[in-house]
Structure 1
Amino acid sequence: MNLAVKSTSITTVPKLTYDVLIENQPDGTIKATLLGLPDCQGLGNTETEAIKKVSQSLQTRLETAKIVTLEIEAPKVENPWMKFAGMFKDDPQFDEMLGYIEEYRRELDAQMEEYYQQLDVENEAK
């Protein structure tokens, strides 16, 4: 497995966005929890206050940490059906089997055509 850590020295810090779960507590307060980081929470009397506190909590945490992007190369897995591809190419009966399939399809097509013609006759009679 190939693993690469991307780190760049960008002078302008991009804005990060996070999803926050807002919950009303039984005591009337509001709890804001950063999704993905359940230990990063803020509690307040209003939703705005709770969001402000969770934001401050995250900013404090990021002062001593950093976010990096990992690139992981997925393992190359062969399609499981590929082992069957071409397995009948040298079979002397393969062409005969294809002939049977074609004949059966022609029979089905003829039956369907007859069925649709019968429907048209019945619809015209109404």
Structure 2
Amino acid sequence: MKLAVKTYTKNIVPKLNYDVLIENQADGTVKATLLGLPDCQGLGNTETEAIEKVSQSLQTRLETAKIVTLEIEAPKVENPWLKIAGKYKDDPQFDEMLEYIEEYRRELDADNEEREV
């Protein structure tokens, strides 16, 4: 398995999008929780205030941490159909079977055409 880690300098940091769970609390306040980071929360009197606080919380956290992107190469898996590909190429009855299949398909097509009329 190959891993590649992408890091960015502070001058060239891409914008990141986060999903935030907004919950109205029983006491009338609003709690915003960053999905994927449940300990990163903001509590406010309004939704906007809660979102601002969770954003500040994340900014504070990122001052001493960083986000990297991992690219993981998927393992190479053999196509299961390749195991039987060409299995019947030397079978003397293979051409006969193909002719049977083609004839059956023609019969089905003819039946379908009759039903459509």
TM-score by length of structure 2 reads 0.87
State the 1:37 CA deviation: 0.9
State the 1:111 CA deviation: 3.4
Residue 4 of structure 1 is matched in structure 2 by 4
Residue 71 of structure 2 is matched in structure 1 by 71
Distance 2:16 2:78 in 1: 37
Residue 19 of structure 1 is matched in structure 2 by 19
Distance 1:14 1:109 in 2: 56
TM-score by length of structure 1 reads 0.81
Q: Structure 2: any 5+ residue segments left out of the alignment? A: none
RMSD of the alignment, in Å?
Answer: 1.8
Identity rate of aligned residues, in percent?
Answer: 82
Residue 92 of structure 1 is matched in structure 2 by 92
Query: Residues 24, 115 of structure 1: CA spacing in aligned structure 2 closer, same or farther, 3 A cutoff?
Result: closer
- Which stretch has the larger CA shift, 40-49 or 104-113? 104-113
Distance 1:16 1:114 in 2: 59
Distance 2:5 2:13 in 1: 18
Bigger helix fraction: 1
Query: Residues 87, 53 of structure 1: CA spacing in aligned structure 2 closer, same or farther, 3 A cutoff?
Result: same
State the 1:114 CA deviation: 4.0
SS in 2 for 1:70: strand
Superposition misfits of 4+ residues, deviation over 6 angstroms: none
